[in-house]
Structure 1
Amino acid sequence: MSRGGDGPPGSRFPHPLPAGWFMIAHSDGVAPGEVRPERIFDREWALFRTESGRVALIDAFCPHLGAHLGHGGRVEGEMLECPFHGWRFETSGTCSAIPYAKRKPSGGEVRVCEIVEHGGRVWAWFASDERAPSFAVPTIAEEIDAAWEELERRDWKIHSCLQELSENGADSAHFRFVHDMPEIPEMNPRFEGPHVVSRIETAFPTRPGEKVPVQIDVTSLGMGCDVMRYSGGIELLEVVSKTPIDAETVRVDVSFRMPRSSSQAQEEVLRDLAEWLIWQFSKDIPIWENKLYRETPALCDGDGPITEFRRWCRQFYPD
């Protein structure tokens, strides 16, 4: 039985997986020669880095007899070797060697995701309808700028859908009731193709009884990445990466960077602020994990640009 009036029977969410660039790992989390299984995009994969440093994400199951390449597979130079019969696959998914055969059978290739590594992140393009990449991989200037350094990193596995998490920022009214903001922030988002850009003026606590005025410039780079730049009384970068594990589970990575020139006192303030922002994010999780997605919600005039945001999201779903 459905838990509400909008989703299909037995499901809280009506959406297929959207297309986009999704972070599948931090660069420092995949060593040369490493192979591991990954479950994302509602399927099994093998993630590996070749000896020269190239990262690949390929279909987990060998086309020969179905061995899982992420469990026991070995990197041999620039190829991944199947643990069952030694078939070797290039990062393109092509089977380039079978040690005991004179010729390769047809159908010996495996599916791959297009991979781009940039700024210490590994991004994969995924589209359930197999469309080609329609926008550029997220590039975050502060992550390749030596004047900035990492401050904090946290991750979660959340039992909800990517649509719910993505449209949370457009739901301006919830900031008052979930995040204790005394005033509902005004939002005037600009929808620019695959990006959404907005600015929020607010104030954050820095010490008990003290607040600092803050300007937040928010950019959504598709549905898989949100970048928040905090300025005013502080300087802080927050990046939220959201990767669908399946239609009802999302892997979320939140990371913060600060100017390398920050004093010790400034770093303490920024570290406290990052922890406060992480705490605020965690307050959304029990709501996401227990709510139903309403396709036809009873919206009112103070709810924020939810309808416009949903219209923007449609471009990422299969027709």
Structure 2
Amino acid sequence: MYINLWYVASFSSELKDEPVKVRMLNRDFVLFRDGDGKAHCLSNVCPHRGVSLAQGKCFDDGTLQCPQHGWRFGGDGRCTSIPSQGDDFAMPPGARVDSYPTEERHGLIWTFLGDSPDTAPPIPDMPEIETPGWRTLEYGEVWNANYHWAKFANIDLTHVPIVHGQEFIGSFTPKENISRPDDYSISSHIRTPFEQPKGDWSEIREEQKHIASTLTFHVSGFTFKGHLEIGGEGSGIFATFYEMSTPIDSQTTAMRYLFTRNFMAEPEHDEGYMARNMKNVNEDRALAETQLPKNGPAPPGDRDLLIDPDDTMLKGYWEILGRLRDRGCEIDLAALEELDRGHRYCAIPSPARLTNPTAWTHDTVPLIQSVTNHPGKRKS
């Protein structure tokens, strides 16, 4: 698992007037809206007694109240009030929790989990979601699978005829053209005839007409995009999906989807469109939840079998994660598990720790191969 990335914490529609507990990267967070409706994300562990802040309540002044002693925290994580103390009380430096940047885009609440947002890969663009004439459906579920296995379920083309029963015409797997738009994404481009759609989609494409498709992995949100010109090359008729994977812990992943289209965009066609997408989701999930080891794979070594073209996208995926590791962004899960058995809670570092690294009750999570000592790490 990696810090200094944007992750999808929730659908916007799921966060209303009450705080919501969210688990990501094996840590607990709380989402809440202030009086202006802006979403905030804080570490969920009160620095006083370790109580879950998500069990508290929101106030019109934009603060979140701890349910045990009434401490109130602003969206920046600072404690603004301790009811048992007078107005002249000097707030102790450790009366704060980590606050993480949030962005609401395309019906998703994105949260930056780390302390260096200025140097991080950006949130991926989703131009179809805001374009007139496109209709978007959202869906989310939790897989009992490591986030790598969840991502690998559909990152290659070879599994399509085997798992989903959708045949390419003329070859088992069409030729892929691989591109790397930037250091943190990889795309596969194909052009191939595809089996004719059935049912109410049967008229949208001429038989034997080539489909142009692009599959892209972007590390922010562990986002996988499929962009298919389903009406045939040059038709301008597209079916597109976005799949965002947020690690809950080593064996569980929150999967969120946006399914969007610019044809048959009337609501009465939603059920059929969702059914087609959910068939693929369910088939991928059934395999991902069986894969071993349950804690997920390590980066490939000399004994691992990687075969082109089956694993071209997969190799690019690991290259991208290797860059994050080189930047000191990978959590040392073994060390964190050991610390969790002890008596101190470790939080994901937030940007505020860069300017004030010592005034915190909680340590930060241990990292693998950090390039420098992490500014938020307290010395024991």
Question: TM-score normalized by structure 2?
Answer: 0.70
User: Is residue 254 of structure 2 the alignment partner of residue 251 of structure 1?
Assistant: yes
Q: Is the 2:153–2:287 contact (alpha carbons within 8 Å) kept by the matching residues of 1?
A: no
> How many residue pairs end up in the alignment?
297
Q: Which among 140, 146, 153 is matched to residue 161 of structure 1?
A: 146
Query: Which amino acid counterpart does residue 199 of structure 1 have in structure 2?
Result: H
Q: SS where residue 206 of structure 1 aligns? A: coil
Matched, 1:309 2:300: no
Q: d(CA) in 1 for partners of 2:308 and 2:189? A: 20
Separation in 2, partners of 1:286, 1:167: 13
Q: Do the aligned residues in 1 keep the contact of 2:31 with 2:42 (CA within 8 Å)?
A: yes
Aligned to 1:107: 94
* 8 Å contact from structure 1 (residues 230, 236) kept in 2: yes
Counterpart amino acid of residue 15 in structure 2: V
**Residue 19 of structure 1, CA deviation:** 4.5
2: CA distance, partners of 1:95 / 1:237: 44
Q: State yes or no: 1:177 paired with 2:162.
A: yes
Q: Does the alignment pair 1:89 with 2:73?
A: yes
d(CA) in 2 for partners of 1:302 and 1:139? 27
CA distance in 2, matches of 1:160, 1:84: 35
Q: Cα deviations across residues 151-187 of structure 1 (Å, max 9, x unaligned)?
A: x332221122222233444433322321224322432
2:305 equivalent in structure 1? 298
Deviation at 1:80, TM superposition (A): 0.8
**Which one-letter code corresponds to 1:309 in the other structure?**
Y
Tell me how far 1:109 sits from its aligned partner: 1.0
What one-letter code is carried by the residue in structure 1 that aligns with 2:280? Q
> 2-side partners of 1:263 and 1:54: how far apart?
30
In structure 2, C-alpha distance between the alignment counterparts of 1:179 and 1:263, rounded to whole Å:
24
Q: Aligned AA for 2:198?
A: R
Question: Deviation at 1:63?
Answer: 0.8
Give the direction of change, closer, same or farther, for the CA distance of 1:171–1:66 in structure 2 (3 Å limit).
same
Shift of 1:108: 0.8
Using a 3 Å threshold, how does the CA distance of structure 1 residues 251 and 181 change in structure 2: closer, same or farther?
A: same
3-state DSSP class of the match of 1:307? helix
Alignment of 1:72-151 (within 5 A): 72-101=56-85, 102-127=89-114, 130-132=115-117, 133-150=119-136
Query: Structure 1, unaligned stretches of length 5 or more?
Result: 1-15
Q: 1:227 aligns with which of 225, 228, 232?
A: 225
Per-residue deviation, 1:302: 4.4
Classify the secondary structure of the residue corresponding to 2:177. Answer: coil
Identity in percent: 21
Give, in angstroms, the shift of residue 55 of structure 1. 0.5
SS of residue matched to 1:244: strand
Residue 12 of structure 1: aligned partner: none
Question: CA offsets, 1:266-310, max 9 Å, x none?
Answer: 973x75344223212211212211212363422334423032332
Residue 56 of structure 1 and its aligned partner are, at CA, apart by 0.8
Give the strand-richer structure, 1 or 2. Answer: 1
Checking the alignment, whether the CA contact within 8 Å between 2:166 and 2:195 is kept in structure 1 is: no
2-structure distance, mates of 1:263, 1:282? 24
**Are 1:22 and 1:225, in contact at CA under 8 Å, matched by a contact in 2?**
no
Greater C-alpha radius of gyration: 2
RMSD over aligned CA atoms reads: 2.7
Worse overlay, 63-72 or 291-300: 291-300
Given that 2:103 and 2:111 are in contact with CA atoms closer than 8 Å, whether structure 1 keeps it comes out as yes
Distance (whole Å) between structure 2 residues aligned to residue 76 and residue 263 of structure 1: 39
The correspondence for 1:190, drawn from 168, 176, 179, is 179
Go from structure 1 to structure 2 and tell me whether the alpha carbon gap of 1:18 and 1:199 turns closer, same or farther (over 3 Å shift). farther
Instruction: Give how far 1:138 is off.
Output: 2.3
Aligned to 2:234: none
Normalising by structure 1, what TM-score? 0.82
> Runs of 5+ in structure 2 lacking a partner?
232-236, 331-368, 370-380
Question: Residue 7 of structure 1 corresponds to which residue in structure 2?
Answer: none
Offset at 1:92? Answer: 1.1
Deviation digits for residues 52-77 of structure 1 (CA, Å, limit 9, x no counterpart): 01111111111112221101333342
